[in-house]
A = this chain, B = another copy of it.
Amino acid sequence: MSGMSGVTMQKTKPIITVMTDFGTEDGYVGAMKGVLLGLLPDAAVVDISHRIEPFNIRQAAFSLLNYAFYYPDNTVHLVVVDPGVGTERKAVIIRTANQYFVGPDNGVFSFIYQQEAFQAYAIRESAFGQEVSSTFHGRDIFAPAAARIFLEKRLESFSEPVTSLVSFYETFRKKSDGEFALQILHVDHYGNLILNFTRRDWIKLNRPKDLKLQLNRGFLYGIHDTFGEAREGQILALWDSRGFLQIARNQGNAATTLDLNVGDQIILRLS
């Protein structure tokens, strides 16, 4: 692998994951995978999703956190949700201790910045030739850049260090003693509502047992350990598999039942 540390290239099979909001039916993702296999014939190109809601940077940012750190060292994660393609927004490479990330600098890596130490590089478009379209950087810049992480000795051969980056992560707000304003970060496939409050935050508050979340129609008391403790259809609060607090409906859809969505506020009370 390349990069500032001067480590020599790895011998194992390159792994590149791909997440986009392109859908698959136009063949655009197919083009990106062709470019990757043309440059790295032995790579494992792993589809994550191409059904991110069009232009929904927040959804992609959260989903990325769900998978990125389960991959072997030196995996490259390509994320192309890019409403600003063709504008001045930067194209970036983010390097954490074990992983690489490639995509537009529009906040899609917000959660990575919040959770890991990292170095950031701005990709030089001019390093990718004359054939760059203004509408499809996924194929013409991001995919070749992902491949070049494996092919070149130094990231600096096609990028330069950058420090100012776009991020949208906001931590929960303390309203008064024992009262906090949380926000819904993400609604997942099952309608579970993920909040900006983690198990680590809860530990910092000395693991309060007597807490409640305020909903339109009453309160949710306590934090459960598993869906199995709840009746079918019951709404409950529990930790998700990454340690975020979530509101879920056992075998049902909490988002539609409660009519809540990304950005909505939820009050947490200790008592």
A residues lining the B interface (CB < 8 Å): 12-13, 15, 17, 19, 22-31, 33-35, 37-38, 41-42, 44-55, 59, 62-68, 70-72, 75, 83-88, 133-136, 139-140, 186, 188-190, 225-229, 238, 240-241, 251
In the bound complex, residues from chain B placing their C-beta under 8 Å from that of A47 are: 24, 47
Given A23-B189, A41-B13, A41-B72, A48:B30 Cβ within 8 A: yes
A-B contact list, 9 entries, CB within 8 Å: A13-B41, A23-B49, A23-B51, A23-B189, A24-B49, A29-B49, A34-B70, A37-B71, A38-B70
In the bound complex, residues from chain B placing their C-beta under 8 Å from that of A29 are: 48-49, 67
In this complex, the member of A45, A186, A228, A229 whose beta carbon has the largest number of chain B beta carbons within 10 angstroms is: A228
Q: Do B30 and A241 touch (CB < 8 A)?
A: no
In the bound complex, residues from chain B placing their C-beta under 8 Å from that of A70 are: 30-31, 34-35, 38, 139
- In the complex formed, the residue of B with least CB distance to A191 is B54
Pick from B51, B83, B134, B140: contact of A25, CB below 8 A: B51
Q: Do B139 and A38 touch (CB < 8 A)?
A: no
Q: Do B241 and A38 touch (CB < 8 A)?
A: no
Pick from B12, B19, B71, B241: contact of A34, CB below 8 A: B71
Distance between Cα atoms of A17 and B85 in the complex (Å): 27
Given A135-B226, A135-B241, A241-B136, A37:B46 Cβ within 8 A: yes
In the bound complex, residues from chain B placing their C-beta under 8 Å from that of A88 are: 228
Q: Do A226 and B86 touch (CB < 8 A)?
A: yes
The 8 closest A-B pairs by CB, nearest first: A30-B67, A34-B70, A27-B66, A24-B49, A86-B226, A134-B226, A27-B63, A23-B189
> A110 to nearest B CB, angstroms?
15
